[in-house]
Every structure is written in C-alpha cells, then in structure tokens.
Structure 1
Amino acid sequence: MSTTERPRILVVGGGYVGLYAARRILKKMRYGEATVTVVDPRSYMTYQPFLPEAAAGSISPRHVVVPLRRVLPQAEVLTGRVTSIDQDRRVASVAPLVGQPYEVPFDYLVVALGAVSRTFPIPGLAEQGIGMKGVEEAIGLRNHVLEQLDKADSTNDDDVRRKALTFVFVGGGFAGAETIGEVEDMARDATKYYPNIKREDMRFVLVDVADKILPEVGPKLGEWGLEHLQKRGIEVHLKTSVKSCVGGHVELSNGVTADSHTIVWTAGVKPNPALTRFGLPLGPRGHVDTEATLQVAGTDYIWSAGDNAQVPDLAARAAGQENAWCPPNAQHALRQSKVLGDNVIAGLRGFPQKDYKHASMGAVAGLGLRKGVAMIKLGKLTLRFRGRIGWYLHRGYHGMAVPTWNRKIRVFADWTLGLFLKREVVSLGAMEHPREEFYEAAAPVTAAAASGAGAPRGTDRPADKPKAKAG
C-alpha cells in the first residue's frame, strides 16, 4: 500500500456498488485531487444476476466477473478484509490474504460490503448446503450436478441413483427460481448423452416459506412462473420450510421427504455481519442506516449503498408508501453507486449533497433457455411479458447492465455461439481439488523414500536429478 499526502477515499468492498462508485469517483475527480483505495477479499467483482446462467453453462464463468485492477487502473486495490473501523482516528484495520494486518488511514469512507446468504439453524445445512452468492459456487454447482448424472448413469445401486438424481432448491425468489429453472434446463439437455437416464428419473424440488414465487415480478407473472415450473415436472412446496437435511435426508415441514446429494440454498440474503464491527448506526435488520443522500446517518464523511444499506425509497414514499426502503437489486445498486460517487466528490469539494430518488422500472427473470418473465413500468402503465419475449427482455437488460463493454461483448458472444452450438455438459469437478491426483501419485513415493526403501525401479535416482535452485 502506498502512502500519500492527498485525501484518501477508502471504498470497503469491490462488489457492484464498490466498483461503480469507485469508477464514478475516478471519472469525476481532478488529477491528483485524492487517492482512491478499494479493499475486497476478491480481486474481482461478480455480476450476480448471471450466476444461474453460469451454473447452466450458458455464459462462461470468467465473463461473469470483472477484474478490479483492470477496470480501476487509477485506484489502489488491496486484496484483503477490513476487520474494523476507528472513526475517531479515521483508520481502517486491513487483514490481507497473507501477512500481518495493517492500518489504512482515510478521510472519506464508502461502505459497500454487500450481503451474505441468510441461513437458519437447520441441522445438516452447513454440511450439505450449496450457496449461490459467488461465481465459485455457480461453477461448483454445475460440476456437482453433472457429476451426479455421471454417478447415476454408472451405478446399479438404486438408492445411490435416486439420491444422485434428486435436486432440492430452497428459496423461491429471483435466485432460487432462476437457478432451478436454468439447472433443470441444463440437466434435461444433458440426458441426451446419458443412455440410462431420462428426465422422468430426475426429481427437482423447490421449497419456499412464502405463498408465491418470484414476488419481485408481481403476482400475475409469479403465478405464471409457478405454473411453468410445475409443467416442467418441478415439485413446488410453498408455505413450507426445511426442518432438517442431515446426511442429505431432507425433511420438510409439510411432511414431504427427499434424499438428495444436492441441496441449493437461495433463501434470501442479509447484510454482511462485518458491519457490526464498524461502529456505524444499523437498522433493525443489520443494514447501515443512511440518509436519502446515501450518507450514513449522523456523519458527513461516510456513505453507504446497495445490499448492506437501508436507503429511503423517496419515489415509493412520494406515492404514499410510508417507511419504504429501496429493495436490494441491481437496478437500485447501479443508480445508487452513481449518486454516491457524485456525493463523495461533492463532499470532497464542500458542495451540497444530492438525494437519491428512483422509481422502479420493473423486473426481469430468466427460467432457462427461451423461458422468462418481465415486468416493465412506463409511468403508470405496467407491461407484462412471459415466455420467449420475457426471456429476450431479461437477457437484453442484464446484458447491457453488466459492467464494462469488455464483459458485455463477451457475454453477448457467449449467447450468440449458444444459438449455433450445443451446450457443453462436461463436468470438471476435479478442478475443485486439482492437486489430489498428483498427491496420490507422489505421497507413496515420498513415504517410501522417508522409510529408506529407495526409489522405485525405472525412476531417476536423486543423484541423477539436477538440484533445484532455492526460491
């Protein structure tokens, strides 16, 4: 980390809000006016609306992420975690991936930690569950599902086969409905290459405590989405919770059970728990309490937005919805980050702050190839689309919303190739443990050498090998 006498703007978090806010600040900032420092445990930002398509193989996982150092060449990017904030001294404690923690002083602070999966104390969930918050989990889910098909196609054990071909998804919001729709679509396509597996052999289960799915697109499209998934053979259990999933044995509150190797948890998110160590005012659900200017309540040098903040929804309140807060979605995050960036520059220069106000433009969701729903708001007019048109609107909106033209072009290229080439159904599960095969080969030889048994016949003796240079 470099030292500077210029004011430092510290951005905690390199997700959607952190990336866009930092870009906005750098764009508006005069040369040498301040130093922008971004701290995140990952060196890239993940565009989460594309995770279901990455899990289904419709988009390359590398095209779902945006490298921070490439997009923010004028910023200082630190790979690590901010563990605490000392507001009196205006310093942040940073724990890097390796090495000792250190302090970073700041003059202005942007808190954009985002959210983490919201879980409950369900027996077996920590051991069996698969999340869908990061690209690593999307890749892992894809490999895992295809591995289950490999197992089922190659075994004579009915219990192993049944457990491998049962897939349970918990959560009926955007993440849950889109993920089960995409994964079911991928698995259905994959059965063409597995002679011993038919779609009827697979069991897909969607569970949600609410009485509907896809509440973000409204009741009419949510009802159509429910009927659509059920027509595809997906079991949907509403007003139902998971009681236990120990050893893959899933017990639901309505008495239904399922034995499964695949339990995907998408039942909502909660603010990053690290916020409790920052000494900031928090709302009842753990969000940072902000004003309409995105300034943290009671401060004039700290801003926050996105999933970790409760931002007053001025448009909804003007329409008569008292105590309305902006929902945690990409539509608000993108616009909040721009206003936040402008307000940080205004604060740096001593200018007035601007309120954030945005009326929702609707919502879109994809449920697999050529299947989707879209609700578009044009003033007082609300347009609803479903099926292929809804899917086109979903792809069009998110294709243009993903950051940087580099990623937009790559994503549209993936989609274009998908029109002419069949979807890949190969599992690369070994990539999750890439050293395992080498370890199995090297460990016996190392053990034999340690016991004095000597090198196996046909191999080079230690004396025949050149010595490796240190370092």
Structure 2
Amino acid sequence: MSTTERPRILVVGGGYVGLYAARRILKKMRYGEATVTVVDPRSYMTYQPFLPEAAAGSISPRHVVVPLRRVLPKAEVLTGRVTTIDQDRKVATVAPLVGESYELPFDYLVIALGAVSRTFPIPGLAEQGIGMKGIEEAIGLRNHVLEQLDKADSTTDEEVRRKALTFVFVGGGFAGAETIGEVEDLARDAVGYYKTIKREDMRFVLVDAADRILPEVGPKLGTYGREHLESRGIEIYLNTSMDSCVDGRVVLKNGLEVDSDTVVWTAGVKPNPALARFGLPLGPRGHVDTRPTLQVQGTDYVWAAGDNAQVPDLAAREAGAENAWCPPNAQHALRQAKALGDNVISGMRGFPQKEYRHANKGAVAGLGLHKGVAMIVVGKVKIKLKGRLAWYMHRSYHGLAMPTWNRKIRVFADWTLAMFLKREVVSLGAIESPREEFYEAARPAPAVARPTPEKAKAS
C-alpha cells in the first residue's frame, strides 16, 4: 500500500460493480487527480452468469475470472477485507490476508460488496449444501458430480449407489434452473463412459418455494422452461421448500423424502452482512439505501450500486410501477457501475450528479447445450424466444458482456472448440486437498518400540 497526499477513492469490493466503477473512474480521471484503491478478499472478479457453464465444463474456470491487478494497473489493489468504516473520521479498517489490520483514510467511498447466498437455519444445510456464488463452488460442484458417478459405478451397495445418483437443487431462479440444466447435460454425457450407469438411473430434483421457475422471463417462458426440464427427466416441485438434509436425508415440506449426497443451494441472495458494520443507512432487507444518483442517502461522498444497493428504478416507476427497485442482475450492474464512476468524478470536481435511469432490455437464460429461453424488450414490444435461438442469444449477450477482450476471446474460443471436441468429463476432486498424497508420503513413520536388553535376552 502506498501513501499519497492525493484524494483517495476507496472502492470496497472488486466484483462486477467494483471493477467497472474503478475502470470508469481511472478512464475519466486526470493524471494525478486522485488515488483509486480497490479492496477485495480475492484478487480477481468472477463473472457469475457463467458459473453454470463452468460447472458443466463448457468454459474453462480460469476464463470466468478477471485478475484485478491486470485490468486495473493504475489502481491500488489490496487483497483483504474492509471490516469497519468510521464515517466521522473517513477511515476504513482493512484486514489483509496475513498480518494485522490497519486503517486506511479515504475522501470518497464506493460500496460494491455484492451479495452472498441467502440461507435459512435448515438442519444439515451448512454441512451438506453446495452454493453457486463463486468459481470455487462451480469447480467443486463439477468435481463432486463426477465423483458421484465414479462412486456409483464402483460400489455393490445399492443404497450407496442410489444416494450417489440423486441430485437435489433448491431454488428455481436463473441460478438454479441454469445450473440444473447444465449439470444434467454434463451427467448425461458423462454416463456414456460408464458401463453400469444409465441416465435412467440418475434422479434430478428441483425444489422451489414459488409457484413457478424462471420468474425473470415471465409466466409463459417460465412454463416452457419447466416443461422442457421435465421432458429431460428432471422432477420439479413447486410451492414447497426443504425442511432438512441431515446426513443427506432430504426432507421436503410436501412430504417427499430422498437420500442424496448432492444438495445444491441457489435459493436467492442477500446483501453482504458486512454492510451492517459500515455505519450506512440500510433498507428493510439490508441493502444500502441510495438516491437515484447512486449516492448513499444523507451523504455526498459515498456511492453504492449493484447487488448490495437499493437503487430506485426510475424507468419502471415512470411506467407506473410504484416503489420499484433495480433488480440484482448484470444488466443493471454494468450500467450502474459506469454511472457511478461518472458521478464520483463529478462529485470530486464539484459538478452536479446525474440520476441513473435504465429501461429493462429483457432477460436470457441457458438450460444446457442448445437449450434456453429469452425475453427481449424492443421499445414496448416483448420478443419471446425459446430453444436453440434463445440459447444463442444467451451466449451472445453474456459473451459480449464479459469484461476485457482477453476474456471475451478465451470464452468464445472455448465455445468454438466445444463444437468439434467432446465435453471433458475428468474429475479433479483431489485439487481440493492437493497436499494430502505428499503429506502421507513425507510424514514421519510412527515410532516402533525397541525391545530393552532385558527383554531381548528373555526372548
């Protein structure tokens, strides 16, 4: 960390909003005008819409993340966590990966912590559940699913086999529907290499507390998505939730009980709980309360956007939707980040702030290879697509939205190669504890008691 007399713009969080806001500020800023400091516990940004495809092996995991230091060469990038913020002194406390915490003064503050998985106190969930918020979880899910196939193919215990081949997904929004669609595709391809397993032996279960899946694309496309997944043998239970999953015994509120070694939790997100320690005004669900200018209510030096912010949706309100807020998706995050960056520069120079306004352009979702749904808004017309064409729209939109040309090219290269090469179905579960084998080889052998001279003579 460098010391400087220049004003410091502190960006808390290096996710989608943090990365794009910092890039925008650096682009608009004059040389030497301020120091931009980005603090995040990871040294990379994860493009979350591609996590289902990374879990299915359609995209290399390394191509789903963007290294912060490479993309922000003119910024200070600190790998750690902002634990507290003193608004009166304008000082943040940073806890680095190693060493003691230290204080970091700032003049302008950007809150871009994003969201975390929304969970409930369900017995067994912490021990059995697998989330889908980070690339590590996507890699872990892929390895886990392939290991379950290995386990089922190698055992003679029918109960163990049935439990290994049952996969339960909780949450029917974009994350849940896309993940189960991609993973079912992966498993369907993978069983072709197992002599004792068929697709009919596997059981995929999708559970959601709402009355439909994919609410983001509307009722008709949501119904199509459900019928499509069911046609692939996926069981879908709506208006129900999971009561417990202790030791893999999944109990649903509708009375259904199944044994499963795989419980994937995608039942929504909530703002990062660290926001409660920042002394900022929060909305009823824990979001930072912002004005349409993305400035935090009651301040003129703090901005917030993305999943951790409660941003008024001016376009929806003008169309008649009272108290509408911007939904937490990449479409809004990208545009909010750019508007936020411009407003930070304006605020630093004493110019007026501009309000954020964006009309919804629609939504796209992939449900596996060559399968998807899309709702595109053109003016006042909603164009609804499904099947292969919607899947192309999904890939085109997110491929172009991926930050940096380096990652765009790599992602499109992965997709192009997949047209000619078969899907990779190798499980690398050992990477979760890579030193285990070496440890077993290198640890000292247990001491063997040597007989005393008296015992040796006696023998």
Would you say 1:133 and 2:133 are equivalent positions? Answer: yes
After superposition, the C-alpha distances for 1:221-278 in whole angstroms (9 at most, x for unaligned) are: 1000000000000000000010010000000000111100000000000000000000
SS of the residue corresponding to residue 139 of structure 1 reads helix
**Aligned residue pairs, count:** 451
**Equivalent residue number for residue 343 of structure 1:** 343
> Which 10-residue stretch deviates more, 435-444 or 102-111?
435-444
Question: Which residue pairs with 1:185 in the alignment?
Answer: 185
C-alpha distance in 1 between matches for 2:115 and 2:450: 54
Aligned pairs (5 A) from 1:254-269: 254-269=254-269
What amino acid is the match of 1:303?
W
Aligned to 2:97: 97
Partner of 1:422: 422
Q: Which residue pairs with 1:359 in the alignment?
A: 359
- CA distance, structure 2, for counterparts of residue 237 and residue 85 of structure 1: 44
Q: Tell me what 1:312 maps to.
A: 312
- Residue type at the aligned position of 1:397: Y
Q: Aligned runs of 1:278-317 on 2, under 5 Å? A: 278-317=278-317
Which amino acid is the alignment partner of residue 335 of structure 1?
Answer: R
Distance 1:68 1:217 in 2: 32
Distance 1:6 1:241 in 2: 53
Q: CA deviation at 1:57?
A: 0.0
Structure 2 equivalent of residue 122 of structure 1? 122
Equivalent position amino acid for 1:278 in 2:
F
Q: How far apart, in 1, do the equivalents of 2:245 and 2:307 lie? A: 28
1:170-209 matches, within 5 Å, as: 170-209=170-209
Mapped to 2, the partners of 1:203 and 1:443 lie a distance apart of: 42
Q: How does 1:20-419 map to 2 (within 5 A)?
A: 20-419=20-419
Cα distance in structure 1, aligned partners of 2:121 and 2:83: 25
Report deviation, 1:440.
1.4
Give the distance between the partners of 1:117 and 1:452, measured in 2 at CA: 56
The amino acid across from 1:385 in the alignment is L
Q: Secondary structure at the match of 1:332?
A: helix
| SS of alignment partner, residue 210 of structure 1 | coil
Distance 1:69 1:160 in 2: 46
What is the CA-CA distance between 1:443 and the residue it aligns to? Answer: 2.1
Distance 1:22 1:103 in 2: 21
Post-superposition offset of 1:110: 0.1
For normalisation by structure 2, the TM-score amounts to 0.97
Residue aligned with 1:169, SS:
strand
**Shift of residue 438 of structure 1?**
1.0
Q: Kindly provide the amino acid, as one letter, of the partner of residue 39 in structure 1.
A: V
In the aligned structure 2, how far is the partner of 1:319 from the partner of 1:289?
Answer: 22
Secondary structure of the residue aligned to 1:420 is coil
Offset at residue 156 of structure 1 (A): 0.6
Q: Which residue of 2 aligns with 1:460?
A: none
Tell me, which stretches of 5 or more residues in structure 2 are unaligned?
452-459
Counterpart of 2:67 in structure 1: which amino acid? Answer: P
SS in 2 for 1:360: coil
Per the TM alignment, residue 55 of structure 1 is displaced from its structure 2 partner at its CA by: 0.0
Give the letter for the 2:137 counterpart.
E
Secondary structure of 1:132's counterpart equals coil
Cα deviation 1:291-329 (Å, max 9, x = unaligned): 000000000000000000000000000000000000000
Identity within the alignment, %:
82
In the TM superposition, what is the alpha-carbon distance from 1:439 to its structure 2 partner? Answer: 1.2
Structure 2 Cα separation of the partners of residues 448 and 135 of structure 1: 43
Letter of the structure 2 residue corresponding to residue 86 of structure 1: D
Which whole-Å deviations, capped at 9, do the CAs of 1:334-372 have from their partners, x for residues lacking one? Answer: 000000000000001000000000000000000000000
Measure, in 2, the Cα distance between the counterparts of 1:130 and 1:321.
36
For residue 433 of structure 1, what is the aligned residue in structure 2? 433
Distance 1:444 1:259 in 2: 40
- 1:18 is aligned to 18
Provide the rounded CA distance (Å) in 2 between the counterparts of 1:452 and 1:132. Answer: 54
- TM-score, with structure 1 as normaliser: 0.95
| 3-state SS, counterpart of residue 427 of structure 1 | coil
Give, in whole Å, the separation in 1 of the partners of 2:319 and 2:258.
Answer: 45
Residue 452 to residue 60, structure 1, CA distance change in 2 (3 Å)? farther
The residue type equivalent to 1:438 in the other structure is: F
Task: List, as ranges, runs of 4+ consecutive aligned residues in structure 1 with deviation greater than 2 Å.
Answer: none
CA RMSD of aligned residues (A): 1.0
Q: Which residue of 1 aligns with 2:455?
A: none
Aligned partner of residue 113 in structure 1, secondary structure = coil
Alpha-carbon deviation of 1:441?
1.5
Distance 1:322 1:372 in 2: 31
Deviation at 1:13, TM superposition (A): 0.1
CA offsets 1:369-419 (integer angstroms, 9 cap, x no match):
000011000011110110000000000000000100000000000000000
Measure, in 2, the Cα distance between the counterparts of 1:93 and 1:135: 27
Structure 2 SS opposite 1:291:
coil
Secondary structure class of the residue paired with 2:315: helix
SS of equivalent residue, structure 1 residue 353: coil
1:45 and 1:452 map into 2 onto residues whose CA distance is 57
Deviation (angstroms), 1:442: 1.8
